[in-house]
Structure 1
């Protein structure tokens, strides 16, 4: 029997994924579950045929240029691939796949949680009750912004954006969206398409970001674009931290242009931006949009499906 391909799992993926991987691969598992340095990634490339990286493993042009020829495929355990220099990887003949479809609903749930929590002052309310400071009530106490029936602007109407829009319709929200291409009418479900951010943003009583991080979308939300939003808007980001100029968002929170924000991702990860901690109207989570048992299993299995196809000589379903 031919030797099994060697697969490196640089982070601790789900137990079900590890068990399935061991059926068809010789698995090297990073039991410490820490982030690998560039030199560690390069060194490992001489020992393995495949890797299943997460967004925490950075494949820059420099790293890719030093990878050993033995490495044939990166089966990413993520949808986003902004941690990979795709052009450099293609030039080296290294296949790259991702895991679309399977995490849309879980991420959309977190976007809904962040939107509701930011709008209804969840951070402040939790602190008041948890600290024992709740000793007062009146009709003017803890008044927030109502989600039901409000206008929702979505940037990026891919799988996650569509899943979020579907959930938002349950709150009778009026959906507006900007996307590289307009959706087919049967996928819009009455949403209004905008062909520019400048057209969309004034409709954003609530704004949710669901587009990939690219050189073109870096700092998509900045001082100029934030001014186009209605005063007192709520911003949600479950996509990538690079989409937001964090200093500009902080200034908009201070001025009241932005009433609240729900953030699951930041420019610096892990860690986030400590400057947001002073704002009780910022509801923050540590990049856990897809962190459910069902979705983590599905992501790992989708990555393994791509690996199985590759080593069987077939084109992986999610080849980029």
Structure 2
């Protein structure tokens, strides 16, 4: 009998055909709507494998109902949507898709940094709203990127990829990480510093650390107060790493100059969110890995991880 799998969002026919050679496949057919919780609860009781996105919360309640479940394949690098401890207790393998999206996410991180620094979105709106009447010396002036100091919080694969881009802009590079990356320091000339030092000295603070209990609200009122008034905060990691209420107050009070956000504590973000009302914030709908090639490769990797786990082979990437 073929193992049963459930896919929580519509993927390409190529993926379903590949899985269908080995598995009995069922898929939520909507592209833009997450699978309802009650349907997920129903399906997880009977499947051997689950291919899911960050939009699904795979918690204790779900996992303890999953009597046949062997593998949860998360189509993402992060896996904070999954209760890893319970999965481990239940003997459920959890896999993810790192590496594939490193360069694409680094591209987006630097694009967001530049758009925020040079007020690109604000300038585009200014033109489209018919406000551009003349040229003036200080009109829509932003912050320089070339030669500035960038502080990277979290020196993983994406952090190192951002370092390469920052080097091309002649930036001085500071970083903070749970452990020092001596090889990275040697290769790229980056400097390890404590977090407070990084916040005080950086013109751009870029958040790229994983979201854990230790990094929740890592950047809050005290940390924001350490930053320069001309500093820009960029977050392309997870929304919960930054205290959004404290960030709003810091931006509104001109304690820091601007912020660029691809992630929010609760997604999709409400249009009533205070941060969205500020002109010095550039916001994106969590599109860090959103290039066509990268998303196709992520889906393919998630499928391979799922198949390998179901056929007792080692997945390419395994969390537990």
Q: How would you bin the TM-score normalised by the shorter chain? A: over 0.9
Task: For 1:36 and 1:177, locate their aligned partners in 2 and report how far apart those are by CA, in whole Å.
Answer: 39
In the TM superposition, what is the alpha-carbon distance from 1:181 to its structure 2 partner? 1.1
* Greater mean alpha carbon deviation, residues 17-26 or residues 123-132: 17-26
1:152 partner SS: strand
Runs of 4+ in 1 over 4 A off after TM superposition: none
Q: Which residue of 1 aligns with 2:71?
A: 73
Encode CA deviations 1:223-277: one digit per residue, 9 max, x unaligned: 0011111221001111100011111111111121211111000011012562122
Encode CA deviations 1:43-83: one digit per residue, 9 max, x unaligned: 10123210111110001222322x22111110110110100
Task: For 1:205 and 1:87, locate their aligned partners in 2 and report how far apart those are by CA, in whole Å.
Answer: 38
In the TM superposition, what is the alpha-carbon distance from 1:186 to its structure 2 partner? 4.7
Stretches of structure 1 that go unaligned for 5 or more consecutive residues are none
Task: For 2:238 and 2:184, locate their aligned partners in 1 and report how far apart those are by CA, in whole Å.
Answer: 28
* Greater mean alpha carbon deviation, residues 296-305 or residues 240-249: 296-305
Query: Is the 2:46–2:67 Cα contact (8 Å) retained in structure 1?
Result: no
Q: Which residue of 2 aligns with 1:238?
A: 236
Question: 1:186-225 counterparts in 2 under 5 A?
Answer: 186=184, 188-194=187-193, 196-225=194-223
Task: For 1:287 and 1:309, locate their aligned partners in 2 and report how far apart those are by CA, in whole Å.
Answer: 29
Stretches of structure 2 that go unaligned for 5 or more consecutive residues are none
1:249 partner SS: helix
Q: Residue 62 and residue 312 in structure 1: after superposition, are their counterparts in 2 closer, same or farther (change >3 A)? A: closer
Task: For 1:88 and 1:104, locate their aligned partners in 2 and report how far apart those are by CA, in whole Å.
Answer: 28
Query: Is the 2:48–2:310 Cα contact (8 Å) retained in structure 1?
Result: no
Query: Is the 2:49–2:310 Cα contact (8 Å) retained in structure 1?
Result: no
Task: For 2:265 and 2:83, locate their aligned partners in 1 and report how far apart those are by CA, in whole Å.
Answer: 18
Task: For 2:237 and 2:184, locate their aligned partners in 1 and report how far apart those are by CA, in whole Å.
Answer: 25
Encode CA deviations 1:260-317: one digit per residue, 9 max, x unaligned: 1110000110125621222121111100111111111111122122223222322223
Q: Which residue of 2 aligns with 1:286?
A: 285
In the TM superposition, what is the alpha-carbon distance from 1:117 to its structure 2 partner? 0.7
Q: Residue 15 and residue 154 in structure 1: after superposition, are their counterparts in 2 closer, same or farther (change >3 A)? A: farther
Query: Aligned residues, how many?
Result: 316
Q: Which residue of 2 aligns with 1:104?
A: 102
Q: Kindly indicate whether residue 256 of structure 2 is the aligned counterpart of residue 258 of structure 1.
A: yes
What root-mean-square deviation, in Å, do the aligned CA atoms of Structure 1 and Structure 2 show? 1.6
Query: Is the 1:121–1:280 Cα contact (8 Å) retained in structure 2?
Result: no
Query: Is the 1:236–1:262 Cα contact (8 Å) retained in structure 2?
Result: yes
Task: For 2:228 and 2:104, locate their aligned partners in 1 and report how far apart those are by CA, in whole Å.
Answer: 28
Question: 1:47-126 counterparts in 2 under 5 A?
Answer: 47-65=46-64, 67-126=65-124
User: TM-score under structure 2 normalisation?
Assistant: 0.94
In the TM superposition, what is the alpha-carbon distance from 1:130 to its structure 2 partner? 1.0
* Greater mean alpha carbon deviation, residues 8-17 or residues 69-78: 8-17
Q: Which residue of 1 aligns with 2:177?
A: 179
Task: For 1:306 and 1:55, locate their aligned partners in 2 and report how far apart those are by CA, in whole Å.
Answer: 16
Q: Which residue of 1 aligns with 2:316?
A: 317
Query: Is the 1:13–1:296 Cα contact (8 Å) retained in structure 2?
Result: no
Task: For 2:245 and 2:56, locate their aligned partners in 1 and report how far apart those are by CA, in whole Å.
Answer: 26
In the TM superposition, what is the alpha-carbon distance from 1:38 to its structure 2 partner? 3.6
2:152 partner SS: strand
Task: For 2:278 and 2:184, locate their aligned partners in 1 and report how far apart those are by CA, in whole Å.
Answer: 41
Task: For 2:147 and 2:108, locate their aligned partners in 1 and report how far apart those are by CA, in whole Å.
Answer: 20
Task: For 1:253 and 1:19, locate their aligned partners in 2 and report how far apart those are by CA, in whole Å.
Answer: 49
Q: Residue 23 and residue 136 in structure 1: after superposition, are their counterparts in 2 closer, same or farther (change >3 A)? A: farther
Q: Residue 89 and residue 227 in structure 1: after superposition, are their counterparts in 2 closer, same or farther (change >3 A)? A: same
Q: Kindly indicate whether residue 161 of structure 2 is the aligned counterpart of residue 163 of structure 1.
A: yes
